[in-house]
Amino acid sequence: MDMNQYLSMFIDESNDHLQSLNESMMGLEANPEDLSIVQVIFRSAHTLKGMAATMGFEDLASLTHQMENVLDLVRNNKLRMQDFIFDTLFKSIDALESMVEDITGGGAGKADVSSIVSSLQAIVRGEVPSASGAAAEVTAAASGNASAAQVFLDEFQYSVLEQSLQEGHQVLYVDVAIRKDCQLKAVRAYMVFDLLERSGEVVKSFPSVQDIEQEKFDYGFSLYYITQKDASEIQKMILNLSEIDAVTAVALDQESLRQMGQESAATAEAVAPAPVQEAAPEAVHNASPAASVHAKEENGKAAPARAGGTPSPSRTIRVDIERLDVLMNLFSELLIDRVRLEQLASEVQNGDLTETVEHMGRVSGDLQNIVMKLRMVPVDTVFNRFPRMIRDLAKSLDKKVDLIITGADTELDRTVIDEIGDPLVHLLRNAVDHGIESIADRIAAGKPETGTVQLRAFHSGNHVFIEIEEDGKGIYPKNVLASAVKKGAITQEQAGTMSDDEAYQLLFAPGFSTAEVISDVSGRGVGLDVVKAKITALGGNVTIYSTPGKGTNFSVQLPLTLSIIAAMLVRLGSEKYAIPLSSIVETGIVKQSQVRTIHGNKMLEFRGSHIPLVSLSKIFSIPDYDESTEEETEIVVVRKGERLVALAVQDFIGQNEIVIKNLGKYLPEVQGISGATILGDGQVALIIDPNAFIK
């Protein structure tokens, strides 16, 4: 079997399983008595092992196998979860992750896991001295030379099996191994089939019946079998034939059948030359998860309910992101032409033309939605590894930290997602290491001993904000300045004139650290410059808000990099500007008399509160318009997070889909302008960045 074509599937699924292992372990740690979580973990580990063994990654398989041994004891109430067990299991998951990473990178997935394996074995031995150790060895030996087999059920066979179950028949999954010295194995196989057909019906076999007849199989085969007899009886019957080495017959119920159906793509290891007594544990470890549960049933233990079940895999294809870029660019061109066509059609006033253009408009609207969605990925794909990271970090620092994640479904462009992970890891480590105080300090400061780190993602205007806020000790601008002066970064005079915000910005200077003791986790400042550089490179920005004694908030602003947005076009004199619709709260008209001056700033009463009124004509020094000469002014109220600002404009032109173009490399960052777009008449209009007006 050519494994390469399955490799990417294996990698994807392994990552999914590792992620679910991590999540479930976190859940279990919070709730150690919940055995249903153990089941979930066991199932993930088990599937992972099966896949790894099939793909020939034996280190991966043997490590997962050891984990299973421990988990098996736990779910059978033979072992209570304890801290050191959690730690060992987490370590195992880490080792698995690095192996999968190695495989992803083209490696063989080899790793020295002997120390973890031996500590896992120690855990197992601690409770049950010999039995499972022996089973483990058998299985390890078996998985080495067992031939890989896949048993797929198609929909028809599946429904036949299901129906038979409903009608009260037994559905068995039978594994038969023929002795290696057997001369006429096809005949033996025929005898088995013949025997089975006498008291039931073989629904599906692997290899297929034809292949078996032509001896196209190794010394074993598996089959689905409907009968009235029970598993042990069938097992005995087959064993009575000569030259049969081993038989396992496992009864399936509806639930496990469904599982098999869903996992028809998953592989089941079968057929091992092991004696019958040991075939049962063998099946537990090497067959598909469904079979494993039922082997347990045979041993007289009730199969615990399966929570959740495996989610049905979504059907996907992988596309080079560059192709998506090209698609996006082509679509942008199309959109500009569409706007132009719409304008021409409205000039020509031909009914048929207008109708066609309108239809094209609707189609391209749908197309646009699809094209944009293709590139968007929820930030959850980055966030999901953080709970585990924070847990480990808090543990190693002897702190208590709760991580609260909100807005994980916020979507960001794929390229941004790929880059944002490391900076966020850094900021989170900083938050836990330097932000949150030690338990003693927190109690002394009258705070709850468990610190909170909030990780928030939300949309605002043309941007996505990711905020990391902790309730730790906060940053004292005084200390930052003192440290900067000591390092010679700024002079004493400069320090005297710097605002708090400017002081915080110093933290992002290269090589700057205010931490008195730099721990191995992070030294605040060391690397913050890298964080800043990375985020800036993505077109984003980092801002620090801190209240000494209360906590710190690192706010990361990222561009959506949606290259097409809905915008409102406004006129200011002879110039046209576009304001992203997503940041507009509402539009309106205010009389000059409604504008108040508070402390030199123009303010406006808006829905019961006062918001600043910003004169775009002044900020952009527009030559031929000034709203202060008018009786009434049109305003656009824009929002960044919770904060609002009113922008004064001359006229509203209308709403349009616009394609964002950058201003070219030459132009420096223009404050208040986020880019440009090409209007239907071929002219360039600048896009206003409302966030720039809100501090």
Partner 1 sequence: MAEDIKVIVFKLGTEEYGIEVEKVQTIERMMPITRVPKTYSFIKGVINLRGVVIPVIDLRGRFGIEEAEHTDQTRIIIVNVNDMEVGFIVDSANDVIDLNRDIIDVPPDVVGGIRAKYLDGVAKIGDDRLLIMLNLSEVLNKGEIVQLESLEG
Query: Which positions lie near partner 1, rule CB under 8 A?
Result: 333, 336, 575, 619-622, 661-668, 670-673, 676, 678, 682-686
Helices 276-286 and 131-145 cross at an angle (nearest 10°) of: 70
Report the Cα–Cα distance between both ends of the chain, in Å, rounded. 61
Nearest approach, Cβ of residue 534 and partner 1 (Å): 21
CA–CA distance, 184 with 572 (Å, rounded to integer): 92
Nearest approach, Cβ of residue 630 and partner 1 (Å): 20
Nearer to partner 1, 21 or 572 (CB): 572
Which one is catalytic: 22, 69, 286, 430? 430
Nearer to partner 1, 467 or 575 (CB): 575
SS3 689: coil
CA–CA distance, 178 with 138 (Å, rounded to integer): 19
Sheet containing 684-688: order of strands: 651-659, 564-572, 575-580, 684-688, 673-678
Length of the chain (residues): 695
Q: Of all helices (H) and strands (E), which one includes residue 73?
A: helix 58-75
- DSSP state string for 51-67: HHHHHT-HHHHHHHHHH
Nearest approach, Cβ of residue 625 and partner 1 (Å): 12
Nearest approach, Cβ of residue 535 and partner 1 (Å): 23
- The answer to whether the beta carbons of residues 439 and 472 sit under 8 Å apart is no
Query: Quick check: is 68 catalytic?
Result: yes
DSSP3 helix / strand / coil % (the chain, rounded to 5) = 50, 25, 30
**Mode of pairing for the β-strands spanning 268-269 and 148-149:** antiparallel
Nearest approach, Cβ of residue 670 and partner 1 (Å): 6
Nearest approach, Cβ of residue 678 and partner 1 (Å): 5
Which one is catalytic: 17, 46, 285, 434? 46
Q: How many CB atoms lie within 10 A of CB 155?
A: 9
DSSP label at residue 693? G
Nearer to partner 1, 420 or 686 (CB): 686
Nearest approach, Cβ of residue 576 and partner 1 (Å): 8
CA–CA distance, 619 with 67 (Å, rounded to integer): 64
Q: Which residues contact 242 (CB under 8 A, 6 or more apart)?
A: none
Report residue 401 as tokens: 């930290």
Q: ∠ at Cα 107 (106, 110), nearest 5°?
A: 155
Q: Which of 473, 468, 434 is nearest to 454 (CA)?
A: 468
Q: Which residues contact 636 (CB under 8 A, 6 or more apart)?
A: 568, 570, 579, 584, 587, 646, 647, 649, 652
Cis peptide before 207 (omega within 30 of 0): yes
In terms of C-beta distances under 8 Å and separation of at least 24 residues, what long-range contacts does 213-218 make, across chains too?
213/186, 213/189, 214/186, 215/185, 215/186, 217/185, 217/189, 218/147, 218/271
* φ, ψ at 441 (rounded to 5°): -60, -40
SS3 606: strand
Q: How many CB atoms lie within 10 A of CB 359?
A: 10
Distance of CA 393 to CAs 47, 401, 436, 475, 519, Å?
29, 9, 12, 21, 12
Nearer to partner 1, 35 or 663 (CB): 663
CA–CA distance, 687 with 695 (Å, rounded to integer): 19
Query: Quick check: is 263 catalytic?
Result: no
Q: Where are the alpha helices (DSSP H) in 105-184?
A: 114-127, 131-145, 155-166
Query: Quick check: is 430 catalytic?
Result: yes
Residue type, 525: G
Which one is catalytic: 23, 68, 263, 657? 68
Nearer to partner 1, 553 or 563 (CB): 563
Nearer to partner 1, 52 or 567 (CB): 567
Residue numbers annotated as active site: 46, 68, 430
